[in-house]
Amino acid sequence: MFRVRTMNKIAPVGLQELPEEYYQVSDQFENYEGILVRSAVLHDTQFPPELRAIARAGAGVNNIPIDRCSENGIVVFNTPGANANAVKELVLAALLYSSRDIFGGSQWVRNRVLEGTDVTTVVERGKSAFIGPEISGKTLGVIGLGAIGAKVANSAISLGMKVIGYDPFLTVDTALLLDTHVRHTTKIEELYRAADYITIHVPYNKDTAGQLNAEAIEQMKEGVRILNFARGGLVDDDAMIAGLESGKVGRYITDFPNNRLAMTKNVICTPHLGASTPESEENCAVMAARELRDYLENGNIKNAVNLPNVSMPRSGVCRLCLIHRNVHSVLAGIMDILAKKNINVENMTNKSRGEYAYTMVDMNTVVGEDVRAELYTMKSMIRVRIV
């Protein structure tokens, strides 16, 4: 029986992935093998020695002490792509309201009513202040063609837009999902020069912080509309506000408001609504629970942020799951210990990621605590599991 501690309310459809015959789930456990978490901050949480894995129902993992987890052989999962459709839909709406002043027009109607005017008598005269171009036939630049960017790019094509995408780390899997009409460029300047609308969908890190700065904006079309549903820090606010004031940027739509931006003309802010749909919450909960379950029961790792993806169909009668440092001679050491015990290896796999590596060994003998103890004598061994 595995114990899973929930650190936030997890959508029931996710918890149903953990059958009662094998799992106890509670927000009260002191000792537990797994954690399911959404946004609870775990940096100061003391983890019990039994903890094997943390599954975050969502993409960002800055609420989890990743380095401490890695050092203690705790696998941290997230749920990439589970909220991509939710974000994509909001970006599509934003493309339209970046083009036509839908919110301004709506506010104008309310204001006429509040001042006592029969709005039906002024609609035709007033509407000209809110017109804007159609998106069909215009060019959308998509920076980052991952789970969200690829969906946005494909949908924009079906809305009649031309799409130019930029992603220096484009994976084969994502490339295969892209509509063939999406043009991929290896030069971001080309995207800046061509796009009437630019939307950014990259992770926030030291390489992407402030990516949309004065130099980038300078290369863009006059009146470009910029959408940011990824992270506030990707955009240099000073440069953006200067661009808006000069008219270089026609409109800036962001899901990451701050007081300055909220009060700047031609900025439309939403309060981080990208993934806020019931469907997205459920998708994340289901994916997180499945990842946790496959790791606890089979040792398979899919969508970990601190260890490589490693999966292997079960063979033999017993499986060793080993988290260790990515240094030489570890595999030889493991095989040596098994050979001395006359244990035959049916199948094995090993992958590394940065400082850490993961090895799974299927055997035709059920191994005991003596093997575990021997494996722990290896200096580079971090966690030994027998599943």
Nearer to ligand NAD, 38 or 231 (CB): 231
**Judged by CB, which is closer to ligand NAD: 73, or 146?**
146
Q: Which is nearer to ligand NAD, 37 or 230 (CB)?
A: 230
Q: With contact defined as beta carbons under 8 Å apart, do 52 and 74 qualify? A: yes
Closest distance of CB 27 from ligand NAD, Å: 25
Do 301 and 55 meet the contact criterion of CB atoms below 8 Å apart? no
CB of residue 261 to ligand NAD, shortest distance in Å: 15
Answer for the pair 285, 11: CB distance below 8 angstroms, yes or no: yes
The continuous run of DSSP H or E covering 293 comes out as: helix 278-298
- Least separation in angstroms between residue 342's CB and ligand NAD is 45
Residue of minimal Cβ distance to ligand NAD? 146
Q: Decide whether 85 or 359 has the Cβ nearer to ligand NAD.
A: 85
Rounded to an integer, what distance in angstroms lies between the CA atom of residue 291 and that of residue 76? 10
380 near 327, Cβ under 8 Å?
A: yes
First CA to last CA distance, the chain? 12
E strand spans, the chain: 2-6, 23-26, 34-37, 53-56, 75-77, 139-143, 162-166, 183-185, 197-200, 224-228, 249-254, 267-269, 318-325, 345-353, 356-363, 381-386
Residue numbers at the binding site for ligand NAD (CB under 6 A): 59, 80-81, 83-84, 87, 143-149, 166-169, 174, 201-204, 207-208, 229-231, 255, 272, 274-275
Kindly state the smallest distance separating residue 275's Cβ from ligand NAD, in Å: 4
Q: How far is the CB of 357 from ligand NAD (least distance, A)?
A: 23
Q: 65 vs 144, which CB is nearer to ligand NAD?
A: 144
DSSP letter string over 48-88?
PTT--EEEESSS--TTS-HHHHHHTT-EEE--TTTTHHHHH
Instruction: Let me know: does 14 contact 279? Beta carbons within 8 Å.
Output: no
Residue whose CB is less far from ligand NAD, 70 or 228: 228
Q: Which is nearer to ligand NAD, 74 or 87 (CB)?
A: 87
- How near is the Cβ of 280 to ligand NAD at its closest, in Å? 8
Closest separation in Å from C-beta 138 to ligand NAD: 21
Q: How far apart are CA 232 and CA 329, in angstroms?
A: 44
